[in-house]
Amino acid sequence: MTLDTVIINGVTIGDLLSVKWLASVAGNVLVAILILIAAFVVANWARRRLVRLGEDYAKIDDTLFAFLGSVTRYVILAFAGIFILNRFGVQTASLIAVIGAAGLAIGLAMQGTLSNIAAGVMLILFRPFKKGDFIEAAGQMGTVKDLSIFTTEIASVGNVQVIVPNANIWGTAITNYSAYDLRRAEWTFGVGYGADLKAAEAIIRDTVMADERSLSDPAPFIQVNNLGASSVDFLVRVWVKSGDYFAYQADIKRSVKEALDKGSIDIPFPTRTIVQEKT
């Protein structure tokens, strides 16, 4: 005699067990759906909360909070997946062990990528530069266009896109030309030994300070600095706003040259006398 042959109130025991099993499966599926919906709601709420938290900390780049929000979201969904599998009787302990071993193998295979992620987090957290800054790092010079977890996008001086892995930037010295509002421009102007040094200094000072970009505070430095082989060299140091630096430095060179010529101040250049012996 089998279960299918035992009849209770016109229904076999086999049918009853089948109905009970289907009800159990349906119940588990319903619970799994509810867990999944709750997990998505909580995960999305946590991600948005972390992203909004970035607005309260202006000194920390929003990219870090966006990254942490994404990680938090996936962690919550991963835990929800484990609960759902456990609900259906899957042994999650062994599954977690397998996932852990796979994660270790993947981590070893992706050391470079993980290094870029770690460097990206450090760059975002400590902010040695930000978007729009003019920097020199990892052998590249240009304006920072974007900073992500993996890479930094730089527009070179020739406006060429350069994508640099974050690990390369974090592992080298970073020069940020935009970090401070002011920069000190510096030139060396040589005049002849027979020139009137007082007049030459006055011409250089008047020409430099006549430029509206030149700052009088901090005070400029204009003094004889070196007695060269063929010239008396004036060292000139003037402060200027960082945004004006490159154009200002080039303009002053030309202005001082023209002013010295106009003032009849000799600007010597190296000469060589070749004596040919008669044979």
Does position 110 have pLDDT exceeding 60, yes or no?
Answer: no
Classify domain 182-262 at the CATH class level: alpha beta
Q: Mind listing the pLDDT tens digit for each residue in 154-203?
A: 999 899 999 999 999 998 999 999 999 999 999 999 999 999 999 999 99
- The pLDDT value recorded for residue 210 is 95
Classify domain 3-109 at the CATH class level: mainly alpha
- The pLDDT value recorded for residue 272 is 65
Q: Mind listing the pLDDT tens digit for each residue in 257-277?
A: 999 999 999 888 766 666 666
Instruction: Determine whether domain 129-176 maps to CATH 2.30.30.60.
Output: yes
Does position 95 have pLDDT exceeding 70, yes or no?
Answer: no
Residue 240 near residue 248 (C-beta atoms within 8 A): yes
Does position 3 have pLDDT exceeding 90, yes or no?
Answer: no
The one-letter amino acid code at 243 reads G
Average pLDDT over every residue of 215-230: 92
Average pLDDT over every residue of 145-159: 89
Does position 23 have pLDDT exceeding 80, yes or no?
Answer: no
Does position 104 have pLDDT exceeding 80, yes or no?
Answer: no
**Lowest mean pLDDT across 68-72, 99-103, 131-135, 171-175:** 99-103
Q: Give the separation between CA 47 and CA 68, rounded to whole angstroms.
A: 8
- The pLDDT value recorded for residue 152 is 92
Domain range summary for the chain, segments of one domain joined by +: 3-109, 129-176, 182-262
Collapsing DSSP states into helix, strand and coil, what is residue 63?
helix
In percent, how much of the chain has pLDDT > 70? Answer: 75
pLDDT bucket at 25, cuts 50 / 70 / 90: low
Average confidence score pLDDT of the chain: 82
Average pLDDT over every residue of 220-233: 92
**Lowest mean pLDDT across 81-90, 106-115, 141-150, 212-221:** 106-115
**Lowest mean pLDDT across 31-40, 98-107, 109-118:** 98-107
pLDDT higher at 70 or 147: 147
Q: Give the separation between CA 114 and CA 134, rounded to whole angstroms.
A: 27
Does position 136 have pLDDT exceeding 50, yes or no?
Answer: yes
- The pLDDT value recorded for residue 200 is 95
Q: Which residues contact 112 (CB under 8 A, 6 or more apart)?
A: 165, 167
Q: Give the separation between CA 240 and CA 65, rounded to whole angstroms.
A: 36
**Lowest mean pLDDT across 86-95, 158-167, 221-230, 259-268:** 86-95
Which tokens is 169 given?
A: 């930037």
Q: Which residues contact 154 (CB under 8 A, 6 or more apart)?
A: 135, 140, 141, 142, 143, 144, 145, 161, 162, 163, 164
Q: What is the CA radius of gyration of the chain?
A: 36
Question: From edge to edge, which strands make up the β-sheet containing 232-241?
Answer: 182-191, 232-241, 221-227
Q: How many CB atoms lie within 10 A of CB 181?
A: 8
Does position 1 have pLDDT exceeding 60, yes or no?
Answer: no
Residue 124 near residue 61 (C-beta atoms within 8 A): yes
